[in-house]
A and B are shown apart, each in its own frame.
Chain A
Amino acid sequence: MSTPPVKLFRINTGSCNGCDVEFVATAFVDKFQISSMNVELVENVEESNLLVITGPLTSKSESFLKKYISKLKKPYAVVGVGTCSISCGIFRDSYSINGPIDKFIDVNVNVAGCPPRPESIAEGIAKGIKVLELKSEGEETPQKIEQILIGFEAPKKFRGRMSLNETICTACRTCETVCPSTAIKITKTQNGFIHNIWHNSCCYCGNCAFFCPTGAIYSTNNFDTVKLQNEKFSDLNTGIINLSTCSSCGESYMPPSSGLLGKAYIHNNLKKLNKSICSKCRKEENFKRMYA
């Protein structure tokens, strides 16, 4: 044994304890491979060189966090575990939240999830160790680190990264309304709408998928949420919802999706209904058909 063990210290800055509980499970259950990583949990922050931080940073924790950070000796690496440590997530609008933690310390690795799977936490720690190794050799932090731990799978029903089926989305904004952590943003453009899901703010609750009237937004079982800090704001799922041109008057309009029509006209043949005309022309046509 030549290399000394990596010394890990965990700080809870006000999390709901989900990440901390899962961290304990990661550390002590063998199947999550932490035991093979040469990591040691230490009692004092002075000895540590790998910091794991959870929570959105409450105002009372702030001064203590600063004090603990000042005791750290370089080189060290920081891993933020949980969505709220990255972007405060669901707690962002509160008066007593001073985070996210990257205002006060240079975070290297972010593990999104609410809470993340132990597999993801283990991966985050593995990447943190990698960053630490590079730092002690005096090298720069890379732009991307490939997946280190392999062979983990998620069950089919696991609520992982959200995704959008653009063809049946009508930009009705239900998902935006029910999302508790304001991870979804729909912007109107000239040609339609842009639907963004920010994975580093998402709390993976599946509320949007449950309430979506057409089933356009859905959760995949992909749990690849361990990213480096430079990917913090670019980790998005972007969907572009285009307007259609009315075949009769030439105006742009939002076509009703097949999903929505299927709900409204359960007994009818959808192909017959879904002529590409705007609602104004459809009304006119219906009027002519009935009264002309």
Chain B
Amino acid sequence: MSKQITIGPFHPELEESVYFKLEADENRVVTKVNVINGFIHRGMESLVTKKNFMQNLILTERVCSLCSNNHPFTYVLAAEKIAGVQIPLRAEALRVVADEVKRTASDLFNLSMLTHLAHEHDLMKDTLNTRELMQDLKESIWGNRMDMSVNQLTGVKYDLNDETVKTILDTATKVEERVLKLREDYNNSTSFKDKTVGVGVLPHKDALEIGVTGPVARGSGINNDVRVKAPYSLYAIRPELQPKVTLFEEGDVFARAMARFGDILEALRILKDVVSNLPDGKTYLEKRPHIPAGEAVVRTEAPRGELIYYLKTDGSQKPVRMRWKVPTFTNWEALKVMILGDKVDNVTMILNSIDPCISCTER
């Protein structure tokens, strides 16, 4: 006998609103998955065409607060590609610094949500407290805990001095120690492993077929990190910065969590490398560019995977069209493979394991 079960749209275990209609058999194993989306649709693609290029620096940031640096980053890369602007080397480095700080904080938040949903309270508190170190760093240097407001056309809005570089290095070292300890704790916790190993499996073949990106792909043994495959910004100028990602073959919730740990450690390594070798020079070009008519496509690696921006301009102060493909868009399809045949009680945990960014996807 099958039973209809609904989860959402407003549910304490769901960070963002999404509506699940599941069918399950008597053992509470899911036999049919139906996901209803659209709760976070704010009409972003229409909004960006109503605002000018300066306003869009901030509006793209509000697409999603967890990858809030990657959106403006990719947007300015696209605008600069159309304008044909070469930005100073120091600005490139500062952009990457902000990006890696954000990546660390975002992945740590996802891990703490995962342990929260697995009811591992102590691990969750530890992870969240480690994330607080990054949050305090962001607040003391960039002025906000989530939206750093770093990028602008032709450069960045902030600069680092010896004191702030030292703060970043100290925090990165401290976080690295704690992350290594956390990874050990996750591996040693049998109760956590019981709940996550073999749960929500995405086999390598399905992962390839669906075209998943980011840590979800890495958890299924695929490396398609944009920073390696199509390096941009400082990753292209200094290839030694490109992350040496950790791959896992299992494709379950636990493997994806471990892939995120690999990402965090690489991000911290890149962060430390860049701030210790900051190039001199200006942080932005004094002359603001005129954005001529044109089209550009740019892709970068967000904390969740590949982010693609398409920008079309006509020489006016506002974009004609802006469209983006976000990592969750492809990873979302994988959910149907992951959830099917698993327990109903695991659904929110599996959903969390792809690190869904619904506000990016539905925008």
How many A-B residue pairs lie within 8 Å, measured between CB atoms?
176
Chain A CB within 10 A, most for which of B44, B55, B140 = B55
Question: Which of A21-29, A187-195, A267-275 binds B?
Answer: A21-29
Bits for B129-164, please: 1 = Cβ < 8 Å to A, else 0: 101100100011111111101001000010000000
Cross-chain contact B17 with A61 (CB below 8 angstroms): yes
Residues of A within 8 A of B59 (CB): 90, 180
Q: What are 5 pairs between A and B in contact, CB < 8 Å?
A: A12-B15, A24-B15, A61-B9, A90-B58, A118-B145
Within 8 A of B (CB), among A22-78: 22, 24-25, 28-29, 31, 41-43, 45, 55-56, 58-61, 64, 68
Which 5 residue pairs across A and B have the least CB separation, nearest first? A18-B65, A159-B143, A94-B43, A180-B55, A180-B58
CA distance A249 to B51 in the complex (A): 41
B131 to chain A, nearest CB (A): 8
Cross-chain contact A93 with B65 (CB below 8 angstroms): no
Cross-chain contact B128 with A28 (CB below 8 angstroms): yes
Cross-chain contact B147 with A205 (CB below 8 angstroms): yes
B106 to chain A, nearest CB (A): 9
Of B58, B64, B66, B143, which contacts A219 at CB under 8 A?
B143
Within 8 A of B (CB), among A214-273: 219
Bits for B85-129, please: 1 = Cβ < 8 Å to A, else 0: 000000000000000000000000100110010000000110011
Please tell me if A211 contacts chain B, counting CB pairs below 8 Å. Answer: yes
Bits for A156-182, please: 1 = Cβ < 8 Å to B, else 0: 011100000000000000000111110
Residues of B within 8 A of A14 (CB): 17, 39-42, 359
Number of A positions contacting B (CB below 8 A): 60
CA distance A177 to B9 in the complex (A): 37
Number of B positions contacting A (CB below 8 A): 59
Cross-chain contact B143 with A206 (CB below 8 angstroms): yes
B161 to chain A, nearest CB (A): 12
A266 to chain B, nearest CB (A): 14
Cross-chain contact A159 with B144 (CB below 8 angstroms): yes
Of A93, A157, A178, which contacts B140 at CB under 8 A?
A157
Cross-chain contact A96 with B124 (CB below 8 angstroms): no
Please tell me if A278 contacts chain B, counting CB pairs below 8 Å. Answer: no
B278 to chain A, nearest CB (A): 19
Cross-chain contact A58 with B39 (CB below 8 angstroms): yes
Cross-chain contact A22 with B146 (CB below 8 angstroms): yes
CA distance A271 to B55 in the complex (A): 36
Please tell me if A97 contacts chain B, counting CB pairs below 8 Å. Answer: yes
Residues of B within 8 A of A203 (CB): 58, 62, 147
Cross-chain contact A157 with B128 (CB below 8 angstroms): no
Please tell me if B46 contacts chain A, counting CB pairs below 8 Å. Answer: yes
Residue of B nearest to A116 (CB): B145
CA distance A59 to B41 in the complex (A): 8
Please tell me if B176 contacts chain A, counting CB pairs below 8 Å. Answer: no
B319 to chain A, nearest CB (A): 14
Bits for A76-91, please: 1 = Cβ < 8 Å to B, else 0: 0000000000000011
CA distance A247 to B141 in the complex (A): 47
Cross-chain contact B12 with A95 (CB below 8 angstroms): no
Please tell me if A15 contacts chain B, counting CB pairs below 8 Å. Answer: yes
Residues of A within 8 A of B9 (CB): 61, 64
Cross-chain contact B42 with A207 (CB below 8 angstroms): no
